[in-house]
């Protein structure tokens, strides 16, 4: 089976691990990743990235010329893509840009013109209802009509595309897995001493952006309600809400219990997660900023949850978006925005160490079974085999 995946995500080699492993699962599997030759990621990383060809056995990453350097929806590849398709002749073409992406339209069209007879698949994270106007509505309809398989990062996204007319095969799974070699249980006594955590203190942790929709104000209210229990709050990340959070913590009289850690290199994140006695993802669905082009926000997956699970750290999450489906019975769920309910969850973990250990083990088992790169590689390959079988 020859698999071609097109996405700017795989400019970062770390993100390629799932597909790299897929190429090793069966002798006849070949995986080619198409990435833009030049890309400007945006956000904190604004420098232009020049990608290079990489090959490892039946796995390769091939840079292809592109017309947009930083806008996913406008990604469109150059003519050198045609020669690659003619040479590789994929059985599966997957574009990870969503249902209305130009790049997906391009690959579908070239698949037909070159008579490759490949099955078309796309990946999306989008999980909120939306409306489209012509010509984008036409573009999406064309793409959906020629789609043989959909991979979506969450349950809501799959349901929305069903409502928009897609009736084909669908698989719900995240785009990237967790690296169990990096995210694993590792005691951190030295780091605890460095940041001022005492052995008897229960560390409630958060990793992510400091923005309203992540529910951090609710988290502050929740830990305040823990009262005299021996806790510390470790907040790892950055964002525009930091000053507000610091002011709120001081006003609540808990400023001395909050540990602030600026964003750290990816390889250092597991050390801080392993310092936590539980990790909280208190995301809150946000519709107050709804405009003509965006319907707000709700949690699409929560990758940090599976990283904490892999570290055998108990997880607590709100019921926003995909969070309950990621955690299921391997952690605690509370209604989003409900500080009292979140505080009750945290109190249970502090007061019932046996429960905390049980949930930690459940989370670890779930991460190893479902969310490692190898586990996802197997799931994705099985889905491709299903598509090829259904359309043979």
338 and 288 housed in the same domain? yes
CATH, residue 16? 3.40.50.2000
222 and 350 housed in the same domain? yes
290 and 313 housed in the same domain? yes
Please give the average per-residue pLDDT across 130-146, as a whole number.
95
Q: Is residue 253 part of a domain?
A: yes
Within its chain, how far is the Cα of 330 from the centroid?
Answer: 18
- State how far the Cα of 333 lies from the Cα of 299, in Å rounded to an integer: 14
Q: Is residue 270 part of a domain?
A: yes
Scanning the chain, the segments in alpha helix (DSSP H) are 17-22, 80-88, 102-113, 136-145, 155-163, 189-195, 216-224, 242-252, 269-273, 303-310, 323-327, 339-351, 353-366, 373-390
Tally of CB atoms within 10 A around 165: 10
149 and 199 housed in the same domain? no
Q: Is residue 182 part of a domain?
A: no
149 and 280 housed in the same domain? no
The pLDDT value given to residue 392: 43
Question: Is there a contact between 23 and 30 (Cβ–Cβ < 8 Å)?
Answer: yes
Q: Is residue 183 part of a domain?
A: no
124 and 270 housed in the same domain? no
Q: Answer with the residue of higher pLDDT: 285 or 211.
A: 211
Q: Is residue 36 part of a domain?
A: yes
83 and 194 housed in the same domain? no
Tell me which residue range forms the domain holding 246.
Answer: 189-371
205 and 313 housed in the same domain? yes
Q: Is residue 161 part of a domain?
A: yes
204 and 260 housed in the same domain? yes
pLDDT at 295 over 60: no
145 and 220 housed in the same domain? no
163 and 217 housed in the same domain? no
37-53: buried (b, 16+ CB within 10 Å) or exposed (e) per residue? bbbeeeeeeeeebebee
**pLDDT tens-digit profile of 235-264?**
999 999 999 999 999 999 999 999 999 989
The pLDDT value given to residue 338: 97
**What mean pLDDT is reported for the chain?**
94
Rounded (10°) angle between helices 216-224 and 242-252 = 20
**pLDDT tens-digit profile of 347-389?**
999 999 999 999 999 999 999 999 999 999 999 999 999 999 9
Q: Is residue 184 part of a domain?
A: no
Quote the number of domains for the chain: 2
Question: Is there a contact between 54 and 62 (Cβ–Cβ < 8 Å)?
Answer: no
pLDDT at 72 over 80: no
The pLDDT value given to residue 137: 95
Residue 44 confidence class, pLDDT cut points 50, 70, 90: low
**pLDDT tens-digit profile of 11-30?**
999 999 999 999 999 999 99
The pLDDT value given to residue 29: 98
57 DSSP assignment: T
- State how far the Cα of 166 lies from the Cα of 125, in Å rounded to an integer: 16
354 and 385 housed in the same domain? no
Q: Answer with the residue of higher pLDDT: 132 or 294.
A: 132
Q: Is residue 296 part of a domain?
A: yes
Q: How far is CA 68 from CA 37, 201, 384, in A?
A: 10, 50, 29
């Amino acid at each position: 089976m020859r698999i071609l995946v097109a996405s700017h995500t795989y400019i970062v080699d770390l993100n390629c691990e799932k597909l790299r492993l897929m190429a090793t699962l069966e002798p006849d599997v070949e995986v080619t990743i198409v990435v833009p030759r030049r890309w400007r990621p945006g956000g904190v990383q604004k420098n232009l990235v020049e990608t290079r060809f990489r090959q490892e056995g039946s796995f390769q990453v091939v840079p292809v010329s592109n017309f947009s350097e930083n806008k996913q929806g406008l990604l469109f590849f150059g003519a050198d893509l045609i020669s690659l398709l003619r040479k590789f002749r994929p059985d599966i073409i997957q574009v990870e840009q969503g249902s209305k992406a130009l790049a997906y339209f391009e690959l579908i069209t070239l698949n037909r013109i070159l008579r490759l007879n490949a099955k078309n698949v796309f990946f999306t994270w989008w999980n909120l209802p939306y409306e489209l106007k012509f010509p984008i509505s036409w573009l999406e309809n064309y793409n959906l009509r020629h789609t043989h398989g959909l991979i979506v990062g969450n349950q809501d996204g799959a349901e929305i595309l069903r409502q928009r007319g897609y009736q084909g095969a669908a698989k719900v799974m995240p785009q990237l897995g967790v690296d169990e070699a990096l995210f694993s249980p590792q005691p951190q006594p030295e780091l605890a001493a460095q940041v001022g955590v005492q052995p008897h203190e229960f560390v409630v942790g958060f990793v992510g952006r400091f923005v309203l929709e992540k529910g951090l104000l609710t988290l502050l209210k929740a830990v305040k309600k823990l009262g005299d229990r021996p806790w510390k709050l470790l907040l790892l990340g950055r964002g525009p809400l930091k000053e507000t959070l610091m002011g709120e913590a001081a006003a609540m009289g808990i400023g001395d219990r909050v540990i602030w850690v600026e964003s750290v290199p990816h390889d250092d994140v597991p050390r801080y997660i392993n310092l936590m006695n539980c990790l909280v993802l208190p995301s809150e669905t946000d519709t107050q900023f709804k405009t003509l082009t965006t319907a707000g926000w709700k949690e699409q997956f929560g990758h940090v949850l599976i990283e904490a699970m892999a570290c055998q750290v108990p997880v607590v999450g709100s019921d926003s978006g995909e969070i309950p489906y990621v955690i299921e019975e391997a952690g605690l769920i509370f209604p989003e925005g409900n500080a009292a309910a979140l505080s009750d969850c945290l109190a249970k973990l502090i007061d019932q160490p046996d429960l905390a250990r049980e949930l930690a083990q459940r989370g670890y088992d779930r991460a190893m079974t479902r969310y490692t790169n190898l586990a996802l590689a197997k799931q994705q390959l099985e889905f491709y085999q299903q598509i090829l079988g259904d359309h043979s």
